[in-house]
């Protein structure tokens, strides 16, 4: 997943980043853009809150890409990547098969705090396009995986997004801070 502001925002002199091992988050700041990112400890959800202060007159794009061709075969191994647009969400499903082995995973992304238009940019990229007037929003990205071909992996990933939306960005962040605080209290250097 990448966030495209259609202009360079994280350049040498304007780029700052802070990794906090204490609460498991990273903050980045560039020319008129700030982002706070963490992975929620309760679910497989990454949350990114973005503040975009008039960087560009164009849309901001959240791009979800495959790392290979949509269908790859090598001998009896098959790797298949497909996209789904479900309302305002984009979902990438990857399925791997070899003989009796089966594994599938899904990544689902949604923008919270404003409207985003979901679309397929091409066969290897799904996109969420965010209106330039939206200066603060959150991007939630969930994942799910299974070795069982009967499980609805897309439904599992979307359920995690729904749980994250119920908790909210600030609620997830506070939950993480509490988890990490307890973790560090058990440790010492």
pTM of the predicted structure, to 2 decimals: 0.91
Q: Which two tokens stand for residue 80?
A: 């298949």
pLDDT score recorded for residue 127: 96
pLDDT score recorded for residue 54: 63
Q: What is the mean pLDDT of the chain?
A: 91
Averaged pLDDT for residues 129-152: 92
Averaged pLDDT for residues 62-74: 93
Q: Does residue 173 register a pLDDT over 60?
A: yes
Task: Give the model confidence (pLDDT) of 72-83 as tens digits.
Answer: 999 999 999 999
- The residues with which 129 forms a beta bridge, in sequence order, are 61, 117
Looking up tokens 């089966």 gives 102
Confidence of residue 56 (pLDDT cuts 50, 70, 90): low
Diameter over CA atoms, the chain = 53
* % of the chain with per-residue pLDDT over 70: 97
Q: 140 in helix, strand or coil?
A: strand
């Amino acid at each position: 997943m990448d966030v495209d502001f259609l202009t360079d925002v994280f350049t040498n002199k304007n780029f700052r980043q802070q990794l906090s091992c204490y609460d498991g988050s990273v903050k980045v700041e560039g020319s008129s853009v700030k982002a706070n990112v963490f992975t929620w400890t309760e679910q497989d959800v990454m949350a990114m809150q973005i503040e975009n202060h008039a960087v560009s007159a164009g849309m901001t794009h959240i791009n979800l890409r495959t790392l290979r061709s949509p269908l790859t075969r090598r001998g009896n191994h098959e790797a298949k990547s497909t996209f789904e647009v479900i309302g305002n969400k984009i979902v990438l499903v990857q399925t791997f098969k070899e003989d009796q082995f089966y594994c599938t995973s899904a990544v689902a992304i949604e923008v919270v705090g404003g409207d985003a238009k979901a679309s397929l940019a091409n066969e290897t990229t799904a996109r969420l396009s965010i209106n330039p007037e939206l200066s603060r929003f959150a991007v939630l990205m969930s994942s799910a995986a299974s070795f069982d071909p009967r499980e609805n992996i897309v439904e599992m990933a979307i359920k995690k997004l729904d749980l994250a939306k119920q908790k909210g960005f600030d609620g997830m962040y506070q939950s993480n801070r509490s988890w990490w605080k307890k973790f560090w209290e058990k440790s010492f250097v």
